[in-house]
Structure 1
Amino acid sequence: MTHPHTPGERLARALEAASGIAFAGARLNPVRGGCINRTLEVAAGGRTYFLKLNDAAALPMFEAEVDGLTALAACDAFRVPRPLACGATDDEAFLLLEHLQLRPLASAEDGRRFAAALVALHRDTGEHFGWTRDNYIGATPQHNAPHDGWARFLVECRLMPQLRMARAKGYAGALGRDADKLLERIPALFLDYRARASLLHGDLWNGNAAIAADGTPVLFDPAVYRGDRDADLAMSELFGGFPASFYTTYRSTWPPAEGYELRKTLYNLYHILNHLNLFGRGYLGQAERMVRTLAVELNR
C-alpha cells in the first residue's frame, strides 16, 4: 500500500509560481501506469490535480505535450485534460494537469462515441504533413518538419530516424538489409493513394484513450502531427485494440481506402521500431517480420 507524501519545498514553490495554486501542505499519491514519467494525484486546496514529474532535462517533452493537448482541445472532438502548469526546478521537470475521472473503453456505446470523435478529429485537415514543432513519441524525439508529400515525410521523419537508432543500438542484420529495400519502395505504395494531412493523436493505443464520467471520449499523452488518418487507425489495433463497435462505426462513417492492411503494417512498423529502441531486443523479431513482409509486398 502506498502512502501519500508532500511535495518538496522547491517543487511546491515552483508549482505555485507556475499555476497560482497554493501547494503548501498538498498531498501526493503515486499513480500506476506510466513507464516514462513519475505520475501522481495531488490534493491541494480542496481539489485534485494530476502531476507528471521527470528529470529537469525532460522539460521539452512536457512542453511538447502541452502543445499537443492544446491542439487536440482546439479541435473540440475529444475532451482532453487541461494543462495548468509546466516548468522545472533545478533538478525536476513538472507538468500539472486537470484531473479527470476516467474509465477504459468497454461498452459498444463507448466504442461508437470514440469512433465518432476520431472521425471529427481526422476531418481537421491542413496543407502540409508534419507539425509546427518537433515533439516526442514516448521518450523518443519525433521529427515533424513540414512536407508536401506524405511518402517522403514517412521515410524521412518517421522510419529513417528509428532505423538509424536501431542500427546504432546493434539491431542491424536482416532488419538493416531489408529495411533499405523497403525505404526505396515506399513511394510506390502511394502512387494511387492520396493521403490527407489529418490532425492525428499520433500515439493512439488504448492506454492513451478513455471515457469520462459523463460518457465523453477523452484523449491524453499525445504525439500530434498531421498525417494519414490510417496511421491513427492502425495504431489503435496494436497492444490490445479498441471495442469492435469502434472499428465498425469508424469504417462505416469513413471507410479506409483499398490497401489499408498493407499501410497498417507500414505505419505500425514505426511504433514497433520505437519500442525496440526504447525497451530492447524483445521487439526485434516482430520488427524483422514486419520489414520482411513489407519488402516482399512492395517488391511484387
Structure 2
Amino acid sequence: MKQKLARILCETGDSSPVTDVRRVSGGDISEAYRVETFEGTYFVKYNENVPGDFFQKEAEGLRLLKETGALRVPDVYGYSRGRSPAQGFIVLEWIEGRTSRHTEEQLGRGLASLHSSHHDCYGLEADNYIGRLPQPNGWFNDWVDFFREKRLGAQVQLAEERGALPPSRRDKLDRLLASLERWLPRYGQPSLLHGDLWSGNWIAGPEGEPYLIDPAVFYGEREFELAFTELFGGFSPRFYEAYNEVSPLSGSYEERKPLYQLYYLLVHLTLFGETYGPSVDRVLAYYVG
C-alpha cells in the first residue's frame, strides 16, 4: 500500500519519498490514510469499488463550500477522475486539532453564513452522492417538486429495489409524496447546503476552528440541513443557539422536521437495512396515519 500511495501522491505533485503511512478512521466507505512525505502530510482516501467520478464529486462539493468563505474545508490536492469504476482516490490537506469552547459556536454561525449563499433554483447542475448512494439533482424552480422527485422519490425507488419497502410502507410513502404541499410552505431563496451534515462530517483544526468534510452539496431549504443535524444528535445546544442568533428558524420548523429527516432515514434504510424501518414507519404514521 505504501507504494500505491506514493504513486497517488506523485500524480498530485509530490514525488518525494513517503516517510510514514498510518491507517486512520475514514468512515465506512473508503480506506483512509495519513501519509507523510518530505514535502508534506496528507489525508488520502482510497477505494477500488466506487464509481469513477465518486471522488471528483467530493472535490467539487468541497470547492463549492470553500468558495463561500463561510466555513473552512480541507484543501484538495488531487483526485481520480472518470465515469467508469476505477481505483479511486482523493488527496486532501491533513487537518489535526481539537475542539475549543468556541468551536461549535463558530460552526453554528458559519453554517448560517453558508446558508446565506443563494441560487435562483433548487438542486445542482450535476448528480452527486449521499454516502455511497447516488443522489440525483438537476435544477428546479419549486422546492416541493425537487424534494418529491429528487430526494424522497429517488430514495423510495432505491429502497424498493433493495427490498426494503413492504406494501404497507410503500403505500404510505406514495400517499405522503402526493400530499407534500400540505406540509411544505413556499420558501424564499434556495441555500447552499452541505447536504450530509452529521456530527462525523466536521472536524476541528489546530486552533479549534471547524472544518466541513464529506459533502453532498446542493441548493435547498436550510431546514432540511438543520433537521438532519438533529436526527442522530452530536451537536450541542450552543451550536443551535449560535445558528439562530444569525438566522432564526421559523416557529413552524418543528412541524416539518420529521419530514426532512425521513430522507436520511430512507438513505440509512437502503444502506443498512430494516434496523431503520421502524423509524421510517413512525414518520409516516405522523404524516399519513
Residue in 2 that maps onto 1:166: 159
Change (3 A) 1:224 1:88: closer
Residue in 2 that maps onto 1:94: 89
Residue in 1 that maps onto 2:280: 287
Residue in 1 that maps onto 2:244: 251
Change (3 A) 1:127 1:218: same
Alignment of 1:210 onto 2:198 = no
Identity of aligned residues (%): 34
* Cα deviation digits, residues 154-184 of structure 1 (max 9, x gap): 0000001111111122222221111111001
Structure 1 stretches of 5 or more lacking a match? none
Change (3 A) 1:166 1:91: closer
Change (3 A) 1:106 1:283: farther
| CA RMSD in angstroms, aligned pairs only | 1.9
SS of equivalent to 1:73: helix
What is the identity, as a one-letter code, of the residue corresponding to 2:160? Answer: R
Q: Structure 2 CA distance, aligned partners of 1:102 and 1:240?
A: 22
247-256 vs 268-277, which moves further: 247-256
**Contact 1:210–1:217 (CA<8 Å) still a contact in 2?**
yes
Q: Structure 2 CA distance, aligned partners of 1:287 and 1:64?
A: 28
Q: Structure 2 CA distance, aligned partners of 1:112 and 1:188?
A: 34
Alignment of 1:221 onto 2:214 = yes
Q: Structure 1 CA distance, aligned partners of 2:125 and 2:135?
A: 12
**Contact 1:56–1:88 (CA<8 Å) still a contact in 2?**
no
Residue in 2 that maps onto 1:260: 253
Q: Structure 1 CA distance, aligned partners of 2:226 and 2:134?
A: 22
SS of equivalent to 1:55: strand
**Contact 2:52–2:86 (CA<8 Å) still a contact in 1?**
no
What is the identity, as a one-letter code, of the residue corresponding to 1:152? Answer: D
**Contact 1:265–1:294 (CA<8 Å) still a contact in 2?**
no
Alignment of 1:51 onto 2:44 = yes
**Contact 1:59–1:94 (CA<8 Å) still a contact in 2?**
no
SS of equivalent to 1:92: strand
Q: Structure 2 CA distance, aligned partners of 1:250 and 1:57?
A: 35
Structure 2 stretches of 5 or more lacking a match? none
Q: CA deviation at 1:253?
A: 2.5
SS of equivalent to 2:27: coil
Alignment of 1:180 onto 2:174 = yes
* Cα deviation digits, residues 257-281 of structure 1 (max 9, x gap): 1321122111111111001111111
53-62 vs 241-250, which moves further: 53-62
Q: CA deviation at 1:227?
A: 0.3
**Contact 2:14–2:39 (CA<8 Å) still a contact in 1?**
no
Alignment of 1:270 onto 2:276 = no
* Cα deviation digits, residues 37-79 of structure 1 (max 9, x gap): 1111001114210000001643311000000000000000111
Q: Structure 2 CA distance, aligned partners of 1:254 and 1:88?
A: 37
TM-score after normalising by structure 2: 0.93
**Contact 1:147–1:153 (CA<8 Å) still a contact in 2?**
yes
* Cα deviation digits, residues 115-154 of structure 1 (max 9, x gap): 1101110001110000121110000110111100000000
121-130 vs 88-97, which moves further: 88-97
Q: Structure 2 CA distance, aligned partners of 1:195 and 1:274?
A: 27
What is the identity, as a one-letter code, of the residue corresponding to 1:125? Answer: H
The number of equivalent residue pairs is 286
Q: Structure 2 CA distance, aligned partners of 1:95 and 1:68?
A: 13
SS of equivalent to 1:240: coil
TM-score after normalising by structure 1: 0.89
**Contact 2:109–2:243 (CA<8 Å) still a contact in 1?**
yes
SS of equivalent to 1:79: coil
Alignment of 1:39-118 (within 5 A): 39-55=32-48, 57-87=50-80, 92-103=87-98, 107=101, 109-118=102-111
